[in-house]
Amino acid sequence: MPKRPEPPDTAAPLIPENAALPNLREAAANCQACDLHKTGTQTVFGEGSPRSEVMLVGEQPGNYEDLEGRPFVGPAGRILDQALAEAGIDRNLVYVTNVVKHFKWIGVGKRRIHAKPNAREIAACRPWLDAEIAAVKPKVIVCLGATAAQALLGKNFRVTLQRGQFVESPLAPFVMATVHPSSILRAPDEETRHVELERFVEDLKKVAEVVSRR
Ligand code: SF4
């Protein structure tokens, strides 16, 4: 019996050279560079203006994003929108995306529960994120959560220790990591949720300050 062909290790061969966002999005829709194209409903590419000054990078699309085909449209996205508004960041200046563009999940009963992408899947998908960064050229990149932070800033980066601090990076003039908004939703009680949201807004206010500098 013929062996099933292995998926390529990286999306790199699929990336059109010097492509604008619409071309990248179109090319990514057919990506099969890792096995996650089999679990996700569709590629969930980044979204926002090519002139965005801020790029927010999460881990991967969730259940809602997978079904709708758009990033940060579920409950975590609503927390993000609230925090951006409280921090005074114009949502129209923000491009949102993820390090992995298909939803990875495990079935628990009838529910699809988030599963963390592995290093191979993150590496396979990375060329799409690099192409988005090259197309948008954001002034500020904010990694949301440990997966994005470690993918972009190194595996030794600890969000718990270094959140809210701008760090040196060739990716953009200002790069910071903070928590993923879904972690705020998972807070054990309302008071903790409120405190965590406030801390998240404080981190985003530093981004707003940098964006306001001319
Ligand atoms: S997760 Fe990324 S690399 Fe894997 S199939 Fe989807 S778009 Fe391609």
Q: Hunting for tokens 């979204």 — which residue is that? A: 47
Which of helix, strand or coil describes residue 74?
coil
Q: Atom 4 in ligand 1: which residue has the minimum CA distance?
A: 34
The arithmetic mean of pLDDT across residues 54-74, rounded, is 97
pLDDT tens digits, 20-33: 999 999 999 999 99
DSSP codes of every residue in 41-59: SS----BS-TT-SEEEEES
Residue 190 CA to ligand 1 centre (angstroms): 36
The arithmetic mean of pLDDT across residues 24-50, rounded, is 96
- Beta pairing partners, 58: 98
Its pTM stands at 0.95
The arithmetic mean of pLDDT across residues 67-75, rounded, is 96
Q: How confident is residue 142, by pLDDT bands cut at 50, 70 and 90?
A: very high
Instruction: Verify whether ligand 1 is closer than 6 Å to residue 129 (CB atom).
Output: no
pLDDT above 80 (res 2): no
Residue-level pLDDT at 134: 96
140-144: strand order across its sheet: 94-98, 54-58, 140-144, 174-178, 166-167
Q: To the nearest 10°, the Cα dihedral for 130, 82, 206, 160?
A: -70
Instruction: Verify whether ligand 1 is closer than 6 Å to residue 32 (CB atom).
Output: yes
Residue 43 CA to ligand 1 centre (angstroms): 7
Instruction: Verify whether ligand 1 is closer than 6 Å to residue 24 (CB atom).
Output: no
Residue-level pLDDT at 191: 97
Helix axes 21-28, 119-136, angle to 10 degrees: 160
Polymer length of the chain: 214
Instruction: Verify whether ligand 1 is closer than 6 Å to residue 102 (CB atom).
Output: yes
Residue-level pLDDT at 18: 87
Structure tokens at 9: 């290790």
Instruction: Verify whether ligand 1 is closer than 6 Å to residue 104 (CB atom).
Output: no
Residue 193 CA to ligand 1 centre (angstroms): 32
pLDDT above 90 (res 146): yes
The arithmetic mean of pLDDT across residues 92-98, rounded, is 94
Residue 103 CA to ligand 1 centre (angstroms): 9
Residue 188 CA to ligand 1 centre (angstroms): 33
Q: How confident is residue 91, by pLDDT bands cut at 50, 70 and 90?
A: confident
